[in-house]
Chains A and B, each alone.
Chain A
Amino acid sequence: MDNVSAQTVIAGDAEITGTIKSAGTVRIDGKLDGELHCEKDALVGKSAVVKGNLNVSSAVVEGTINGNIVARDRIELKASARLTGDLKAKRLVVEDGVAFVGRSEVNASGVAPAAPQHSAPPTPVPPGIDANRPGVAFPKR
C-alpha cells in the first residue's frame, strides 16, 4: 500500500468521534471513536487507536483496533497490531507478534467455509492396498 498517495490522513494528534466515510484511501494515526467506511484501502498506523468497526477494501493494521474489520479483499496485521474483534476478508496475512482476540473468517477462494464437524469421516482406502498382508517391520540401518 502506498502511504504517499493516501488521500485522507488523520494525524497522530487528532481525535475524531463519529463515522468516517471515504471514497479513497484513508490513513489513521490518531484516535477514532466510531466507524470507518472506506471504498479503497485503510492504513491504521502504530499510534492509532480505533474504537469501532472498519468496512474497507483492504486494510493494513499496525495499531490498536477495538472493533470488527470487514474487508472485501485483504487484511494485513503487522507485528505491532492489537485487534479485539472479528475480521472477515478474502485474504489474511498475520505477522508474528500480533495480539488478536476474536473470530476470523478468511477464505482465499471466497467461498464460505464449512461448519466445523465433530466427527472425522474416514478417508477411503486407496485401491491396490491389501489389508490382509502379513509381515513384520525391519529396521533400516
Chain B
Amino acid sequence: MSGSRKASIVSGYDLVQSLGGRRAATRPAAEAPPPPRPAPAGSVALPTKRDIACPDCGWESHVMGRQSYAVCPKCRKKIDIVDYTVDIDFSGTIATAGAVRLAPGGIVHSGEIRAAIVDLASRVEGGRIVAWHRLDLRAGAVCQPDHIEFRDLRLDAGARLAFTCALACRRLDVAGDLEGEFVVSGEVFLRAGGALRGSLRCAHLTVEDGASLAARLQVGGGDPVVPGP
C-alpha cells in the first residue's frame, strides 16, 4: 500500500452522473435494454385449494398448494396425497387422498386401493378398490361389483359394467354400457351413445339425444340415500 495516498471525498451524485453519462455515450442504439418480461397470464396470488379425505376415518378437509402429505385433523394420521399409476401386476396396498390410475396392461390380483379418484382401465381379479370420491371406468376395464366401492360413478364410452345387486351412489354419469339396479341420490346423466338397462331410481335425470334407456324408472322425489365407501 502506498504511504503517500491522498484521501479524497467522492460524491455519490457525481459518481452516478459520471457513470450514466459514460454509459449513454458508449451504448449503441442497437443494444437497447430488453423490454421487461410481461407477467404470466392467469397467475394468482393464492395457492390452489384441494379437497381431501382421510382414508382411515373419512374426515374431509382441504389443503392449500402442493403438498405430498397432510395430517388428518380428526384422527391425526398421516394422509398421503400422492397420485399413483399402476400398469403392472399389483397385490399391495395404496392409501392416498390423491388419484390412482390403473392403466391398461395392469392386473390387480389382491390387496386394497383407497383413493379419492380411481381411474380404472385395467383388469381387477381380486382385492378391493375404494374410491371415496369418484370411480372412472374406461374402455377395457374389467371388474366385478364385489371388488369396487365408490360414491360417484362415471362410465367412459366403451366401458361396460353389469351389477348383479342393487347399488346406491350419489352421482352417475353414463357414456358407456351399464346394467343393474341403481338408487342415485343426486344426478344421473345418460350421454349420447350410452346405454342403461335395469332399474333406476334417482332425483334428477338428464338424457341426451342418442342414448339408450331400457329400464324401470322413478325420477324425482327419491329417498336421500347416503352412498359412499
Contact = CB atoms under 8 A, between A and B. Distances in A.
Contact of B209 (A91, A109, A126, A132): A91
Interface size class on chain A is 35 or more
A133 B214 contact: no
A116 B212 contact: no
B220 A100 contact: yes
A103 interface: yes
B92 interface: yes
Nearest to B91: A136
Interface of B is mostly: strand
A126 B207 CA distance: 32
A93 to B, nearest CB: 5
Contact of B179 (A93, A107, A117, A134): A117
Contacts of A98: 205, 219-220
Contacts of B18: none
B210 interface: yes
Contacts of B219: 94, 98-101
A104 B164 contact: no
B223 interface: no
Interface of B: 68, 82-86, 88-90, 92, 94, 104-105, 107, 123, 140, 142, 144-145, 160-164, 179-180, 187, 190, 195, 197-198, 204-221
Interface of A: 74, 91-109, 113-114, 116-120, 122-123, 125-126, 129, 131-137, 139-141
